[in-house]
């Protein structure tokens, strides 16, 4: 009788253990620590001279994106899902140089780039030279999750988007009169952003047009994983299907659970030369710098050292957030692990 009892107890215990183990695999344990940060581009904000209503409009969109992202984190969303959702809010606004508000190339077209990376497994997806995808960040995420490739370009990327059910729109959707006027101002000027292939020159009086608007987001989710994403329309009046740092994994976008998640904004060529986003990771992983110090070195020392301008946002697995920029301002915001919200421009 005792043997039957012990045998039954063993079977029930083993069954319960197995059930608990299976349940834990289905539902990862969520902690109470999560946070996110975003940016809407860095640049010479003083010359832009925003009106109070313009400043409020930018802050309103950033606030909306932050609140959405944080509410998703509270409900157990993953870092990559939150990155996508936050960036989509900014892509859908004509205020930022991404999605709806993407700038125009010299040919009068919108050529959009985006990338996303998961710090948990280093999976990533990137796209460039999109003209009809409503939300480039969503296509980048689809590539990350459901493609054997990492980086897709132009018509091929849009063909993949259609196959995967990503929303495609007519090119007229992206027409914003203000952006069109900005392109004409540069194109018709005696000073050009790109005089010929391979040469570039800064246009100081038009600095405010070209140096901000790219959007990005970094997230720590409740499962202890981090992710980063970036989306942009590139540089106003760009030629030759130019590609900046935003969609380049390691240059404008990077995430690794061993260190941090990073999204950059500014003059892309300089961030590419530095492999800036990965450089923040390197200072943390190899030099044991904290996220703030690592990001500060990359922006204040290395980027400034080569005459580059711009900034970045970064977050580590403890939810520590840093904003670093060497311009007069950067559209930025965050909600930290304590639930405290921050939104600023200058």
Please report the pLDDT score of residue 28 as a whole number.
64
The pLDDT tens digits of the residues spanning 125-170 come to 999 999 999 999 999 999 999 999 999 999 999 999 999 999 999 9
How many Cβ atoms sit within 10 Å of the Cβ of residue 173?
Answer: 13
Whether 151 contacts 126, CB under 8 Å = yes
Q: Does a structural domain hold residue 23?
A: no
Q: Are 313 and 321 in contact (CB under 8 A)?
A: yes
314, part of any domain? yes
pLDDT band at 1 (very low <50, low <70, confident <90, very high): very low
Average pLDDT over residues 318-332: 97
pTM for this prediction: 0.87
298, 194, 297: which is closest to 250 by C-alpha? 298
Residue 137 lies in a domain: yes
Look at residue 103 and tell me whether its pLDDT is greater than 90: yes
Q: Give, rounded to a whole angstrom, the gap between the first and last alpha carbons of the chain.
A: 78
Task: At 134, list the tokens.
Answer: 């409503």
CA 74 to chain centre: 21
Residue 66 is part of which domain span? Answer: 35-193+206-344
User: Does 18 map to a domain?
Assistant: no
pLDDT at 62: 98
The CATH number of residue 245's host domain is: 3.60.20.30
pLDDT at residue 212, rounded to an integer:
61
Express each pLDDT in 193-208 by its tens digit: 433 333 333 333 344 4
Q: Looking at the predicted structure, is the pLDDT value of residue 320 above 70? A: yes
Best CA proximity match to 215, nearest among 306, 94, 320, 318: 94
Catalytic annotation present for 265: no
pLDDT at residue 213 in the model = 85
Percent of the chain whose pLDDT exceeds 70: 84
CA 304, distance to chain mean position in Å, is 22
**Residues 111-124: tens digit of each pLDDT:** 999 999 999 999 99
Bigger pLDDT: 228 or 26?
228
Rounded to the nearest integer, the mean pLDDT of the chain is: 88
Domain assignment present for 5 = no
Is the confidence at residue 55, as pLDDT, over 70?
A: yes
Q: Does 72 score more than 90 pLDDT? A: yes
Which tens digit of pLDDT belongs to each residue from 263-310?
999 999 999 999 999 999 999 999 999 999 999 999 999 999 999 999
Look at residue 164 and tell me if it is in a domain. Answer: yes
Q: Is residue 4 part of a domain?
A: no
Query: Among 214, 230, 232, 327, which one carries the catalytic annotation?
Result: 214
CA dihedral 331, 336, 340, 344 (to 10 degrees): -10
Tell me the pLDDT tens digit for each residue of 238-271. 999 999 999 999 999 999 999 999 999 999 999 9
The answer to the question of residue 125 being in a domain is yes
3-state helix, strand, coil in the chain (%, to 5): 40, 20, 35
Please give the tally of structural domains in the chain.
1
The token pair at 221 is 């989710």
């Amino acid at each position: 009788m005792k043997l039957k009892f012990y045998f039954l107890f063993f079977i029930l215990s083993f069954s319960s253990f197995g059930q608990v183990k299976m349940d834990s695999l289905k539902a990862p344990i969520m902690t109470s620590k999560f946070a996110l940060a975003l940016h809407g581009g860095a640049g010479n904000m003083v010359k832009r001279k925003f009106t109070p209503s313009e400043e409020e409009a930018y802050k309103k969109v950033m606030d909306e994106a932050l609140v959405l992202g944080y509410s998703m984190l509270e409900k157990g969303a993953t870092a990559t899902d939150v990155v996508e959702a936050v960036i989509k809010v900014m892509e859908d606004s004509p205020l930022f140089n991404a999605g709806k508000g993407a700038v125009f190339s010299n040919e009068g077209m919108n050529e959009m780039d985006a990338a996303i990376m998961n710090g948990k497994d280093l999976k990533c997806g990137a796209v460039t030279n999109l003209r009809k995808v409503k939300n480039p960040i969503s296509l980048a995420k689809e590539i990350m999750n459901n493609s054997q490739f990492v980086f897709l370009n132009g018509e091929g990327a849009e063909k993949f988007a259609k196959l995967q059910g990503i929303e495609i729109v007519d090119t007229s959707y992206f027409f914003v009169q203000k952006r069109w006027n900005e392109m004409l101002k540069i194109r018709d000027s005696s000073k050009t952003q790109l005089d010929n292939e391979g040469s570039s020159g800064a246009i100081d009086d038009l600095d405010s047009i070209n140096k901000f608007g790219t959007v990005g987001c970094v997230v720590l989710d409740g499962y202890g994983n981090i992710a980063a994403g970036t989306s942009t329309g590139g540089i106003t009046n760009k030629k030759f299907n130019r590609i900046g740092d935003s969609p380049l994994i390691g240059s404008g976008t990077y995430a690794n659970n061993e260190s941090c998640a990073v999204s950059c904004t500014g003059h892309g060529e300089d961030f590419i030369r530095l492999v800036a986003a990965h450089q923040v990771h390197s200072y943390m992983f190899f030099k044991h710098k904290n996220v703030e110090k690592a990001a500060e070195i990359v922006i204040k020392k290395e980027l400034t050292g080569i005459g580059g301008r711009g900034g970045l946002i970064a977050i580590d697995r403890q939810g520590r957030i840093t904003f670093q920029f060497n311009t007069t301002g950067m559209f930025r915001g965050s909600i930290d692990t304590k639930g405290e919200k921050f939104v600023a421009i200058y």
